[in-house]
Amino acid sequence: MHAPGRAGETPRAGAGTSASADATGSAPPLLRMSGIVKSFPGVKALRGVSLVLHAGHVMAIVGENGAGKSSLIKTLSGAYEPDEGTIEIDGQRLARGTQAAIDAGVAVIYQELSLVNDMSVAENLFLGRMPRRHGFVDHRRANAMAREALAQVGLEGVSPAMRVGDLPLNKRQLVEVAKALARDARILVMDEPTAALQHHDIEHLYAVVRRLRAAGMGIIFISHHLEEVFELADSAVVMRDGATVGARPMHEWNEPALVQAMVARNLDSFYPWEARPYGEVVLEARNVASAPVLRDASFSIRAGEIVGIGGIAGAGRTELLKTLCGALPLSGGELRLRGQRLTLRSPAQGMRAGIVYTAEDRKLEGLVLDASIEENIALSNLRSLVRGGFVSAARKRKLAREASERFAVRAPSVMELTGNLSGGNQQKVILGRASATSPAVILLDEPTRGIDVGAKTEIYAHIVQMARAGAAVLLVSSELPELLGMSDRVLVMYRGSIVGEVARERANSETIIQWATTGVAA
């Protein structure tokens, strides 16, 4: 095993025609995809996509869900066979199939990790190709090779014999990268690699990517987080409707231009905030605590108001929302709803009181992925659907259709499995279900995490509409532009307490970061 791009390494590609150099006489790029077309029944997923990736280069591919990014990557990995077009690695035509792509040095790390939790780290790194000696698996050699690969991604302290399922998520993500290195990958595709990582884990991943780039690896980086694109990428390719609509070095892009290329519309109103009249105080928290994280939170929120909650990971933002809806017990302080003291022992009680919570992890806590859109929307509304002791199928269908139409859920019908939807449409299902309960207070925990820019603009519009209709909205977000762009005022948390409050017109990134990282004003 060796570092990617090491001097003297023989270029490898799938069997096929060879081209030793470009027409100019210079060496061909590491990867060239030319005129890639891919169609499915009724859908043209890729429309003549072309791109070039050089060794030692990080290329970002950005675009809305449905833009064709996944189809392009699956074509590169051999999972899809293109209808038209060619793929060349080091000037050699790539043969068909996933094994040819692997042999050519292509590795893809998907958002949903492909590790086997019950196997050891070494067994995962060399799955299907464990080194052998005298006909038996050579565990000593496998462990030595695994340690070499793990060291390249900063996991020197991880034992190759450790069960992968016992590792935290951030280390499993890096094991996936080590797995690619153990396969001598030279082209690494990372699909939303930071979606489930905390800030310090993301910084570690950035360092690994930079190290691999310096070693000569070509990296394709797919992310919905544009700050990551500007932080890491050397160039960005924008996809829309199955085609590339822009490809430039990063110094020629700025965020507004990149976003506008992705969504093909003017983004002056990207955050559709508007001034609204507020009603009475709906919810009041007085020195609220929920051990061990939430220590002291006091605030009030009015009908029609959008209040943002900022803070770093672990500050207690999620714990605050869960305490407000009854998912976590109060260990101190009190809640008041429209002036009356409120005691909640479960989220169901919270919903009956008019407080609804949408979870940060929509797949784990927010949705039943193998149930239909209709079933998911009905979950929080079953009491209103019962007639004669039974849930009315007609009322359930009507509720789901109305919510889907109101939130523009893109699906063939409300009977579509929720797990088949894009992240943005899954989030719309959650908002549709929450809105159908006619809540007085809506608690939104990272409502745009992991969704594309176009879907974000739709979610923002729905949030404003819910506030306009009179709901009090508490919005937790780790994205400062979102927090500043959507909130009427911002509360900042630090180590379990609310330490600052600032009105929209005075809010800025510096103030929020200062409070969030030190607990005191500048």
pLDDT, tens only, 162-203 = 999 998 888 888 898 888 888 889 999 998 888 666 677 788
- Asked whether residue 444 is domain-assigned, the answer is yes
End position of a domain, from candidates 232, 264, 296: 264
Percent of the chain residues topping a pLDDT of 70: 92
Region 84-96: mean pLDDT is 94
Q: How far apart are CA 137 and CA 242, in angstroms?
A: 45
**Residue 418 counted as domain residue:** no
Considering the domain architecture, whether residues 90 and 143 belong to the same structural domain is answered as: no
Q: Which of 228, 198, 25, 191 is nearest to 112 (CA)?
A: 191
Closest CA to 72 of 236, 274, 220: 220
Q: Would 297 be classed as within a structural domain? A: yes
pLDDT-derived band of residue 105, with 50, 70 and 90 as boundaries? very high
Clarify whether residues 257 and 291 are in a common domain.
Answer: no
What's the whole-number average pLDDT of the chain?
87
Residue 87: is its pLDDT beyond 90?
Answer: yes
Q: Which one has a higher pLDDT value, 453 or 273?
A: 273
Cβ neighbours, 10 Å, residue 340? 8
Residue 390 has pLDDT above 50, yes or no: yes
Query: Is residue 369 in some structural domain?
Result: no
Give yes or no for residue 223 having a pLDDT over 80.
Answer: yes
When pLDDT is cut at 50, 70 and 90, the band that residue 268 belongs to is: low
Q: Which of 183, 212, 236 is the last residue of a domain?
A: 183
Q: How confident is the model at residue 104 (pLDDT cuts 50, 70, 90)?
A: very high
For the segment 78-106, the average pLDDT, to the nearest whole number, is: 94
Q: Which of 197, 63, 171, 64 is nearest to 478 (CA)?
A: 197
Cα separation, 492 vs 439, in Å, equals 24
| Total of domains in the chain | 3
83 and 194 within one domain: yes
pLDDT band at 10 (very low <50, low <70, confident <90, very high): very low
One domain, residues 324 and 469: yes
Assigned domain for 289 exists: yes
Q: What are the two backbone dihedrals, phi and then psi, of residue 361, each rounded to the nearest 5 degrees?
A: -95, 90
Which residues are within 8 A (CB) of 157 and not within 5 positions of it... i.e. 6 or more apart? none
Q: Is residue 66 part of a domain?
A: yes
User: What is the C-alpha R_g of the chain?
Assistant: 25
Q: What is the pLDDT of residue 2?
A: 36
Among the residue ranges 166-170, 333-337, 350-354, the one predicted with the least confidence is: 166-170
Identify whether the C-beta of residue 328 lies closer than 8 Å to the C-beta of residue 497: no
- If asked whether residues 339 and 453 sit together in one domain, one would say yes
| Claim to verify: residue 135 and residue 44 sit in the same structural domain | no
| pLDDT over threshold 80, residue 15 | no
CB atoms under 10 Å from CB of 219, counted, come to 24
Domain end (from 202, 231, 264): 264
Residue 469 lies in a domain: yes
* Domain that includes residue 87, residue range: 13-105+186-264
Terminal Cα-to-Cα distance of the chain (whole angstroms): 51
Q: pLDDT tens digit string along 403-438?
A: 898 888 988 899 999 988 888 889 999 999 988 889
Q: Which residues pair with 308 in a beta bridge?
A: 475, 490
How many alpha carbons fall within 13 Å on the CB side of residue 276?
26
Q: Using CA atoms in the order 399, 402, 407, 408, what is the torsion angle rounded to 10 degrees?
A: 130
| 493/307 Cα distance (integer angstroms) | 13
Residues 236 and 126 reside in one and the same domain: no
Let me know whether 287 and 332 are in one domain: yes
The per-residue pLDDT for 7 is 31
CATH code at position 215: 3.40.50.300
Cα distance between residue 341 and residue 294, in whole Å: 19
CB 115 within 8 A of CB 164: yes
Whether residue 335 is found in the same domain as residue 320: yes
Element (H, E) at 44: strand 43-53
Range 247-250, long-range pairs (CB < 8 A, 24+ positions)? 247/51, 250/60
Specify the pTM.
0.62
Q: In terms of domains, do 174 and 196 share one?
A: no
Residue 129 burial (C-beta neighbours within 10 Å; 0-12, 13-18, 19+): exposed
Q: Does residue 359 form part of some domain?
A: no
| Residue 99 and residue 124 share a domain | no
pLDDT tier at 343, thresholds 50, 70, 90: very high
| Statement to judge: residues 448 and 350 lie in one domain | yes
| pLDDT in the model for residue 313 | 78
Reply yes or no on whether the pLDDT at 18 is more than 60. no
Please give the pLDDT value at position 114.
Answer: 81
pLDDT tens, position by position, 276-322: 999 999 999 999 999 999 999 999 999 999 999 999 878 999 999 99
